[in-house]
Amino acid sequence: MKLGGPLAQWAIPHLAALLIRGVHATLRVRHVGREPLDRLQAAGESYIHAFWHGRLLLMPFSYRGRRITILISQHRDGEYIARTMEHLGFHTTRGSTTRGGAAALRQCVRLVKQGFDLGITPDGPRGPRQEVQAGVIEAARLSGAAIVPVAVGAHPGRILDTWDGFLVPWPFGRAVFRYGEPVRVPVDASPEARRDLTERLQAALRHLTQQADDEARQWR
């Protein structure tokens, strides 16, 4: 099978989706701190589901809304990720802050205003690891949607030697999803205010990730 060929582009995402579902089915799972997110959903508000690129594998199981589009890069790796997400039942929008960014951002804002939620990895597609880039703040400012930081930890598992520190959980382990307080970006937010909100979101995601990792390790 030629990597990048039509057969690989069909088979790899299909098998990846089956594997992800299979691993998740074996895990004991906790969801912690969902109350602010539940209130947004009860009010019928669309929101931005923000999580680190390295925690992507289990993130499909953190979402309980009606419909969401996932922003995924236009790189070749992004093609496999997008097709895997589609096999898992999610809508995808292609682009990033570095390639196809402006068009993808406009499309995401349109979809949010039509009632979609938006999933975004604010350190993707190429990092630096766990550093929030400007795109997620701009999406929130233009759409009016709150950003909800979400993290997942799993134990036992392995952190791969990749730019994003990709987490692969072992089957029959434990996973903890942690949700943070919504972050809102006013449409008239100044550049200084946007920088402050970027730092706030980054700190929240890092803290939630550490909490989720610790709780997954300590859970018996």
Where are any strands of DSSP class E within the chain? 28-32, 47-50, 68-72, 91-94, 117-120, 146-159, 167-179
Token pair of 19 as six digits: 């594997």
User: At residue 181, does pLDDT exceed 80?
Assistant: yes
User: At residue 36, does pLDDT exceed 90?
Assistant: yes
CATH 3.40.50.2300 is right for the domain spanning 6-218 = no
Predicted TM-score (pTM) of this structure: 0.92
Sheet holding 68-72, edge to edge: 28-32, 167-179, 146-159, 47-50, 117-120, 68-72, 91-94
**pLDDT category, 1, cuts 50, 70, 90?**
very low
Cα–Cα distance measured from residue 100 to residue 106, given in angstroms and rounded to the nearest whole number: 10
User: At residue 32, does pLDDT exceed 80?
Assistant: yes
Mean per-residue pLDDT of the chain: 92
**Pick from 63-67, 167-171, 185-189: least confident:** 63-67
- Above pLDDT 90, what percent of the chain? 83
Exposure string of 131-159, with b = 16+ CB inside 10 Å and e = fewer, is: ebbebbbbbbbbbebbbbbbbbbbbebee
Q: Would you kindly state where each structural domain of the chain is located, as residue ranges?
A: 6-218
Residue with tokens 């953190």, as numbered in its chain? 62
What is the mean pLDDT of the segment spanning 164-177?
97
Q: What is the β-pairing status of strands 28-32 and 117-120?
A: unpaired
pLDDT digits 0-9 by tens, 91-144: 999 886 555 578 888 999 999 999 999 999 999 788 899 999 999 999 999 999
> Which phi and psi angles does 193 have, rounded to 5°?
-65, -40
